[in-house]
């Protein structure tokens, strides 16, 4: 993607990575900047609007976030619902989907207008109270969704043996149809699951977290599933080890993830010494 006058690959960073980058005691930031901007391939970091809304109430952290990302080319990705709606529109119209202005906003420190300047854009975003409220409600509902996933796990365990990946893949099409309806879309024609990689990686990631682990599901798990909607449309992802393993496994099933570069903190810390 072209941002300003330069071409960049897109690197999605998740909630845990952002927290690490905001920690001034960590040396991770040096390695991150080296990987993104000093390697042979340049990467524009991508963060989610969910992360922005999540950080807003924490003034010091939020200011650190805005300070850091105002100094580099980057993208703010929009909501999971927008990615799913875009996939459906592309499917109906026979188009291929790429990240565009309907799915993200790009920023660069070399352009000072409110569309390309992160701080000015966020100040404008704060004034759009209806949009802020919608996304705040999604963020505020994360704990209740995490509890619902926990409840679903317990109910399944009462009536059957532990589900496995084969069970999920066998029922994937049915699961995705239910999911797309839950997102407010009533398909006019039979959907082809191959055309909905955002929906697929979200459902797969949720299944793996709920049914293939026993770890307590937290709000950040739900948030990472929402953010993963952008994964099929970026070039690289920097995430924690567990989510990285999910993406590696998903590569076998979701064609659009075939070229995805999957990075964890250990891959960027080598540059910070």
What are 14-69's pLDDT values in tens digits? 888 898 888 766 678 888 999 999 888 999 999 999 999 989 888 889 999 999 99
Q: Among candidates 29, 99, 36, which has minimal Cα distance to 67?
A: 29
Distance CA 100, CA 60 (A): 31
Residue 16 lies in a domain: yes
Q: Are residues 76 and 92 in the same domain?
A: yes
Domain span at 45: 2-140+230-269
Domain count, the chain: 2
Lowest mean per-residue pLDDT among 22-31, 138-147, 166-175, 214-223: 22-31
Instruction: Take residue 226 and report the two structure tokens written for it.
Output: 């929402």
Distance (Å, whole) CA 34 – CA 45 = 12
**pLDDT beyond 70 at 139:** yes
Which string of DSSP letters, residue by residue, matches 52-112?
HHHHTT-HHHHHHHHHHHTTS-EEEE--HHHHHHHHHHHHHHTPPP---TTTEEEE-TT--
Helices 142-159 and 197-211 pack at an angle, to 10 degrees, of 60
254 band by pLDDT with thresholds 50, 70 and 90: very high
Bridge partners, 2 (sequence order): 7
Could you tell me which residues are beta bridge partners of residue 13?
A: 238
Mean pLDDT confidence for 175-200: 93
Asked if 77 and 7 sit in the same domain, the reply is yes
Q: What is the pLDDT of residues 259-273, one digit of tens each?
A: 999 999 898 887 665
What's the predicted TM-score (pTM) here? 0.91
Asked whether residue 48 is domain-assigned, the answer is yes
Structure confidence by residue, pLDDT tens digits, 174-183: 999 999 999 9
Q: What does the DSSP 8-state code read for residue 162?
A: P
Nearest to 12 by CA among 55, 53, 43: 43
């Amino acid at each position: 993607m072209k941002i300003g006058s330069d071409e960049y690959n897109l690197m999605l960073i998740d909630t845990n990575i952002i927290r690490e980058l905001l920690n001034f005691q960590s040396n991770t930031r040096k390695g991150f900047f080296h990987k993104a901007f000093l390697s042979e391939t340049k990467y524009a970091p991508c963060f989610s609007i969910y992360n922005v809304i999540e950080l807003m109430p924490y003034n010091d952290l939020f200011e650190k976030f805005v300070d850091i990302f105002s100094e580099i080319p980057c993208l703010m990705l929009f909501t999971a619902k927008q990615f799913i709606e875009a996939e459906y529109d592309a499917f109906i119209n026979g188009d291929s989907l790429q990240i565009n202005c309907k799915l993200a906003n790009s920023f660069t420190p070399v352009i000072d207008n409110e569309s390309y300047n992160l701080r000015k854009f966020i100040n404008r975003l704060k004034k759009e109270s209806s949009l802020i409220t919608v996304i705040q409600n999604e963020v505020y509902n994360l704990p209740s969704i995490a509890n619902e996933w926990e409840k679903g796990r317990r109910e399944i365990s009462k009536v059957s043996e532990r589900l496995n990946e084969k069970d999920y893949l066998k029922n994937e099409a049915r699961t995705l149809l239910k999911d797309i309806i839950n997102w407010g879309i009533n398909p006019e024609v039979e959907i082809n699951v191959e055309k909905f990689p955002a929906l697929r990686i979200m459902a797969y990631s949720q299944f793996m977290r709920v049914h293939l682990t026993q770890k307590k599901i937290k709000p950040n798990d739900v948030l990472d599933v929402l953010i993963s909607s952008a994964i099929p449309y970026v070039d690289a992802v920097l995430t924690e080890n567990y989510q990285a393993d999910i993406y590696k496994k998903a590569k076998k099933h979701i064609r659009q993830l075939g070229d995805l570069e999957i990075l964890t903190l250990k891959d960027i810390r080598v540059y910070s010494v």
